[in-house]
Structures are given as structure tokens and as C-alpha cells.
Amino acid sequence: MTWATVLQEVRQMRFEELYGRRQRRELTMADAADILGVTERTFRRWSSRYDTEGAEGLQDRRLGRASARAVPVDEALRMVTLYETRYTGWTVKHFHERWQQEHGGMRSYTWTKKTLQAAGHVVRAPRRGAHRKKRPRKPLPGMMLHQDGSTHEWVPGCQWDLIVTLDDATSELYSAFFVEEEGTLSSLRGLQEVMETKGLFSSLYTDRGSHYWHTDEAGGKVDKIRLTQVHRALQQLGVTLIPAYSPEARGRSERAFRTLQDRLPKELALAGITEMAAANQYLSTRFLPAHNQRFAVPASEAGTAFVPWSGTHLTEILCVQEERVVAKDNTVRYQSLSLQIPQDPHRFHYVKVTVRVHEYPDGTLAVFHGPRCLARYHADGRLIETEAESPRRKSPPLRSGDRPIVDPRATVCETCSAHG
């Protein structure tokens, strides 16, 4: 028995009682209508139908009649078939957006959800329990950024790490890319992408991973004296690093990763992407703009806390910096590489001199002595020749009447020789 049927029977019993009292002149028509909660005109119409048809006249004639606003069965069937054949496993919200954008769907999200639930493709979500109070967002973009990594099977058979940097005020994703393993260089790469496009921000909120903080024990208090490479670079740039002591404290980034883990693998599979390079290209050019348009929220105040960067190259700050002592053969050992320092016109060699090795997010290296760069290297340790180090081009032969071209860097003797 449906709820509508129960209401019909209750209404019929109450009406018959009031109708009898009205016939015995215990109540006026207006009083009976008021007790039943209808107008006097409605009570008079029901009384007339009861006199002629009996209890059958009190049945709601709309019951069992198809609604004029009901969705055609074939349209609902097409939608369910589309979900079964192409979007199995997608959440209703994700599927509803794609259905409207690419397949011309016109129905509401609620109708879509109820139809898929009735078809057995979507499980009704359990009732949520009590939720802790959310920390208010920062009022301006650039006041606080979150950075975190998530290991997940983003494409079938591949466990990659997704490094994401997002804004606390708007939840906009400024940087996102896949790497084989999260670490110092991937964190520095994300920071560099944000600073080069947006500028310097005020603070960075992270977990207590070893590439952000030193801790005496796992899950322990952070050491703010011994700086990691990321912390050193941020301190040099005037950016405050803030540690989070629980996953709940990083709710914004955790919710962002839940959304990404649900949507991004399905989008990559739909695009037929299985390689990391193609996935990063798709992520930056197609997925991130659409994601930010859908999920980013306006900041509570107008303006920005980002400050344009002006100074030395960011790459020389946002890199791993480690000191080494030059060996007797004028080489520097770094990890498993032997970096040969080339001949220098300023000094004969650098044996036993303390130099600084820079390792950049793209894998290349450089050796510095004080502020001066001695050489740059590929990721495998091969020397990157600069224009000054490459062999000089031979000048074309002089024609009759031409004056010789003098290299301004030549010595006085060379200049005299050139002029004969």
C-alpha cells in the first residue's frame, strides 16, 4: 500500500465522519470544511460527489494518471544505456556534467541520480555523520597555498605520484603534474611553476614529509632549525612554511585529491592516454582549465596577495644546493656522477676548493664557486658547452680592399698583428 493510498483512506474516514455530523446539523458547512482543512467550496463539491457516487466519488482522480511532465521512457533508457556503455563507474555528478556537455542531456541532476539509482547502477549514499567545523578560507589568493602528492593508479597498471599546488582562498589548482616518485625536486618544480606564473605567495601549508621537514621520529614534531632544501629555498624567498599535524587539517587538499582520483583516471582512459608525458600534456592543457572552471570559488575579498618576483633567476634558488670539495683531478663527485670542471681563464685549477653543486628540477646540474657558475651539466654528467666554450668560427677570406675585422676581446698584441 502506497503512502498516497493511506492518505486517501484517512481523508475518506474523516470526511464521512464530518459529513454525518453535517447531516445531523451538528456542524455548519463552513465548520466542517475548516476542520477538514479545505475550503467550503471543496467540501460542498465532495459532498455532492459522495451523494451521487458514494465512497468512490472521494477517490483522487489524479492517482494512476501519467504526469504531463514525466520524462519519456525512451529518453531515460538512452541515458541509462549511455552510462552502461561508456561511463560505468563514474559518479552521478561527473556523468551528469559530461552528459549535458557532450551528449545534449537536458534533465536535472536529481532526475539523473534517481534514474540511475532505480536502474541499479548507483548506490544510494549513506547518511553523513557529524562533521567537524571547517577552517575559514583565507580572504585573498596568494595568502596560503597547499602542496601535496598522491600516489594512485592514474592509468591502468601504473602507480604514479600526482603533485598538486592549490590556493586556500579559491581552491584553484595552480600546478599539477605526474612524476614517478614524490620528492624534493618535484616539490621545487611545483613551486617554480606557481612563482613564474603568479608570483611570490605568503605561506605554504604541507604535511610533514621528509622533503619538507626534518622530524626526529615519524609523526613527531618538526625541527625548525635544520632546514630541508625546500624549506631553505622558501626561507630565502621570504615564504613561511607551515606544517600540518593531521590529514583533517589538510582538508582542502584531501578533498581535492578525492575529486581528482575519482575523475582524472576516467578522463585519461576516455582520451586513450597511457604514457606519463601525454598525461601531463592533457593535464595542463585540458583538464586543469576545466577543473578550475568547475570547482574554483571566488575569494571573499577583492585583490591578491601575490607579489611579482624581481631579482636573480628563481632556478638558482628553487634547486637542491650541496657543497663539495674538488678532487685532485679537478672533478666534483655528486651522487654517482663525476663532474669535470673545464679550464678556467681565471685560475689554473680548483683542487681542494669548496664549491656548490646545484641540481635543478629538470635534472640538469651546475657547479658554482661563490656567485660564479663554473660549468653546467646534463643529467648524466656531460658538460653543457656554452657559446663561449665552443670553437670559434673561422672568418671568411678577406677580399681586396676589405679591412680585417678585429675581435674586441683580443689582446693588444693580437690587435696590432691584425692591422699588420
Question: DSSP letters of 229-259?
Answer: HHHHHHHHHTPEEEE-SSGGGGHHHHHHHHH
Give me 339's grid cell: 663532474
Neighbour count for residue 87 (Cβ, 10 Å)? 17
Segments making up each domain of the chain, as ranges: 3-58, 73-118, 145-295, 319-420
Residues 358-411: tens digit of each pLDDT = 999 999 999 999 999 999 999 999 999 875 444 433 334 434 444 443 333 333
β-pair partners for 359: 320, 365
For residue 302, what is the DSSP state?
S
Say whether pTM exceeds 0.75: no
More confident position, 126 or 232: 232
CB-based burial label for 213 (10 Å; 0-12, 13-18, 19+): buried
Model confidence at 17: pLDDT above 80: yes
For residue 224, what is the DSSP state?
S
Residues 73-92: tens digit of each pLDDT = 888 888 888 998 889 888 88
Residues 168, 137 contacting (CB under 8 angstroms)? yes
- Tell me: domain 145-295, CATH 3.40.718.10, correct? no
The beta-strand segments (E) located in 285-371 are: 320-325, 331-334, 337-340, 354-359, 365-369
Please choose, from the candidates 204, 202, 200, 164, the residue with its C-alpha nearest in 3D space to the C-alpha of residue 182.
164
